[in-house]
Structure formats: structure tokens, C-alpha cells
Amino acid sequence: PLLQHALMRVWAHEKKTSRSGILDLEDYESVGGIHHALSKHADEAYGQLSEQDRELTRGIFQELTAIDDQGRKIRRPASVSELKQVTGANEERLLHIVRQFIRDNRSFLIESNTADGSDRVIDISHESLIRQWDRLNEWVTTEAEAAQTLKQLVQASRQRRLGKKGLLDSVEL
């Protein structure tokens, strides 16, 4: 998928700039090469959003990703109704953002109907987006760290209520 995406971006760049039909190293480097083409492309979509929509985008993508038992960042499809509940945004605004990451050959997200047609499901098209989009990778890591901190605080609170632990000290805080 990374090579495919990079080549698609190189071709689009070539058509847009020199139009000679010859793909060269300059085209390849301008799109970020195999290691950064996907991240750069996703950042372009993100950069076209308003500041308010960028914050909502973070919430959407955090809901669409998870960390499995082996510590791998993976896709976690979510319905539009779930995204509305988690983000507090309306369906129109959510779908505007989702479609920003689909249009113009981006295809970073997939939008499909549920089996009964009562809702839509949003999913990340390929896990390479999670690994390669630097911004998303950072969001998922930050979310996982916050969740771990919350778990530790909840555990400390339980231990305190059971009389097995005192208040958090300065080191723990």
C-alpha cells in the first residue's frame, strides 16, 4: 500500500507540474518518497480543514483506532452514531470531515452502510495510515498514555478507599 500510494502521488505530481510523463527522482522526493508520501498527503487533507474541524478530526481518528494486546495500533470501525456520541458533533459535520479524507484520490477512510441501512460505518482504509501518518500516530500514542494514566489513578483511588493506600505523594503526582 505504501508503494502504491507513493507512486500514485508521484504520477499526480508529474501530471500537475511538468506533464512530460516521465517520473523522476524530483517528483518522488517532492511527494515525500515512500516513507512520507502518505503522511504528507493526509496532512494536506487535514490542513484544508478549519481549526474547529481539525480538533474534531482528532477525535474521529482517535475513535477509529485502538491499541491491541500486543501494543499494535489497529483500525477500529465506528458507526456515525457512535462518532456523534463521542465527539458531540452532528452528522453533517462528521461526514464533511470524513469525506475530506476520501475525496481527491485520498481514500484514507471508508464510508459504508450498516447491514440494515440504519447507520453508516466509518473505517480507516488501511492500517498503514495509522503507522505512517505521523500526526495520527502521535494522537493515538497520546490517547493511550492518557488512558493508562486514568487506569492508574482509578486503581490508586480503589486502593485508597479500601484502606490499602494513602493519598498520592508528590512523586506519584
Tens digit of each residue's pLDDT (9 = 90 or more) over 102-160: 998 888 999 999 888 899 999 999 989 999 999 999 999 998 888 888 888 888 888 87
What is the pLDDT, as a whole number, of residue 149?
84
What is the pLDDT, as a whole number, of residue 3?
86
Give the integer Cα–Cα distance in Å for 167 and 159. Answer: 10
What is the pLDDT, as a whole number, of residue 173?
64
Which of 43, 35, 36 has the alpha carbon at shortest distance from 61?
Answer: 43
More confident call, 6 vs 93: 93
Tens digit of each residue's pLDDT (9 = 90 or more) over 45-94: 999 999 999 999 999 999 999 988 898 999 999 999 999 999 999 999 99
Per-residue H/E/C for 61-102: HHHCEEECCCCCEEECCEEHHHHHHHHCCCHHHHHHHHHHCC
Q: What is the mean pLDDT of residues 32-49?
A: 93
